[in-house]
Amino acid sequence: MHSDMRTAKGLFLCILAVTCLAATPAGNNEVNQVIQAALLPSPLEDNLRRLTDEIGGRVPGTPAMQHAVQWGMQALSGAGADSVHSEAFEIPNSWAEGATEMTATTTYEVSPKQVGGGTILTSFRVRAVSLAWAPALAPVKHVPVIDIGEGKDADFQKAGEVAGKILLVHTTVLKKWDDLFAEYMNAPPVIDRAVKARAKAIAFMATRQHDILYRHINSQSGEIDRLPMVIVAREDGERMARLLAAGQLVWADLSIPNQIGGPIRAANVVGEIRGSERPDEFVILGAHLDSWELGTGALDDGCNAAMVVDALRAIKASGVTPKRTIRFILFSGEEEGLLGSRAYAFTHRGELDKAQGVIIYDAGTGKTTGFSLGGRTDVRSLARLLIAPFAQFGVNDLATDMEWGSDHFDFMLEGVPTFLADQEEANYLENYHAVSDTYDKVDFAQLKKHVAEAAGLSIELANLPQRLGPRLTHDQIEQTMHDTNSLEMFRAFGLWDDWQSGKRGRQK
Ligand SMILES: [Zn+2]
């Protein structure tokens, strides 16, 4: 019976889609005009060069982030926005890393017959960075390091007493999107166990090889985490693990002088092209302006911030007039827990009935393969028509899972249709949040195609004769979580409690 109902629903959507075909912009010239305008030369490269090379990594609360907000205001104005403004929100704590230092010491047996024979101590420097929004650790010396495996329950039981020790945690090398998701999913329970067992600190092995260090965060709302934690270069971590496996003792000197302060003001930047017929209805095209600071946040997500600016320029240059308003938003505080988009969705909750759709790009310059619709099977047929003009760029797939991890998330939880660009990994993961996320990694030929897709989809949504789909109610959103088997993910990140308590997402 369930499957019959699904067939009937599918048939209805199919009829609706066919009726709409003639009326969608996909069937006329507007979207093609925008695509053509998007592919012409533009200030895209220079805008991104200024954002990454001149301004650099952009953490909220720093001068670089303030410069980036100015950059966004000027770039959106320069691209021809009808209006540009910023919207402030608060992040509970500021955070900056100091000069984190770690040295490992072990023993070496020199033959007693040799001069200086006996047990001697040998040391080596461990390349390490603090986890973001983790507490500081005043210098400690000669603290025992123990191998805690992957940090599962059984690993802790096997390890025995861990109080006051530094726990070395094994990880998997990052290759695919699923690995990245696992990195976020796996850490919180390890931290729970370490806190409970009163460990001194955690040292996670880097998931990248070749000494690459990167930022990772486990706190969800800009709050300071519970335990001092570092990521250690994979090669140094493996060396310590081999020593311990060989029965050697390993101690570490560790200093994590993070600078932590009180609440900070951050700001999203919003540029608009006002709709000619239904200005109060709106489409959002967004990417995040903030980044981590070990590199310069080129792939994550500077390139797409520059892309959003260029999409505005392309629509203006095309001469096509949007009937609904398009808001081009550069979000801040994304890296600290989607804080800018969360604040925006919360503040604008009263007008989200008028949101036609939210499009987000946040995965560097890997080819767009399609879009994730946030669990919305009801908009799939119409969305299929909307993406048809981008098949020339390889955009073909629509996924109906509920993804976490970017700025679509709180709009999805408010029942608004969302389009999160699904992209190939390309070079995104190896440089993710890392020292190596710099301008030279950006594939501009591909990025121009993303400008065409994002600008094209924005104009289609803005000029679609009808609404793409209704804003879902609280109960419909919760049903979607069940239908897409998303509960485990919501629970793992503490999002289920936030949803249940009404702290986050559409109210009952
Ligand atoms: Zn990002």
pLDDT at 112: 84
Please state, as a whole number, how many other Cβ atoms lie within 10 Å of the Cβ of residue 111: 7
Please state, as a whole number, how many other Cβ atoms lie within 10 Å of the Cβ of residue 125: 12
Q: Which of 438, 446, 447 is nearest to 54 (CA)?
A: 438
- Per-residue pLDDT band at 12 (split at 50, 70, 90): very low
Dist. CA 304 → ligand 1 center (Å): 9
- At 280-327, the pLDDT tens digits run 999 999 999 999 999 999 999 999 999 999 999 999 999 999 999 999
Percent of the chain with pLDDT over 90: 92
- Per-residue pLDDT band at 209 (split at 50, 70, 90): very high
- Per-residue pLDDT band at 117 (split at 50, 70, 90): confident
Residue 370 pLDDT > 70: yes
Q: What is the mean pLDDT of the chain?
A: 94
pLDDT at 113: 86
pLDDT at 16: 41
Q: Which of 475, 448, 487 is nearest to 368 (CA)?
A: 448
Residue 116 pLDDT > 90: no
Question: Are residues 308 and 457 in contact, defined by beta-carbon separation less than 8 angstroms?
Answer: no
Residue holding tokens 């390091």? 145
E strands in 382-428: 397-399, 418-423
pLDDT at 2: 36
Dist. CA 205 → ligand 1 center (Å): 22
* Three-state secondary structure call for residue 269: strand
Dist. CA 406 → ligand 1 center (Å): 7
Q: Which of 451, 456, 439, 180 is nearest to 304 (CA)?
A: 451
Residue 345 pLDDT > 80: yes
Dist. CA 388 → ligand 1 center (Å): 26
What's the token pair of residue 390?
A: 């981008």
Dist. CA 405 → ligand 1 center (Å): 8
Residue holding tokens 């009935």? 353
CA dihedral 75, 76, 81, 83 (to 10 degrees): -110
Output the CA–CA distances (angstroms, integers) from residue 173 to 205, 260, 441, in the order listed.
Answer: 9, 30, 20
Residue 364 pLDDT > 90: yes
Dist. CA 301 → ligand 1 center (Å): 5
Distant-in-sequence, close-in-space partners of 153: CB < 8 Å, separation ≥ 6: 193
Dist. CA 312 → ligand 1 center (Å): 20
Residues with CB under 5 A from ligand 1 (ion): 300-301, 362
E strands in 382-477: 397-399, 418-423
- Per-residue pLDDT band at 3 (split at 50, 70, 90): very low
Output the CA–CA distances (angstroms, integers) from residue 53 to 47, 111, 156, 360, 440, in the order listed.
Answer: 10, 54, 44, 24, 10
Dist. CA 288 → ligand 1 center (Å): 6
Question: Are residues 16 and 382 in contact, defined by beta-carbon separation less than 8 angstroms?
Answer: yes
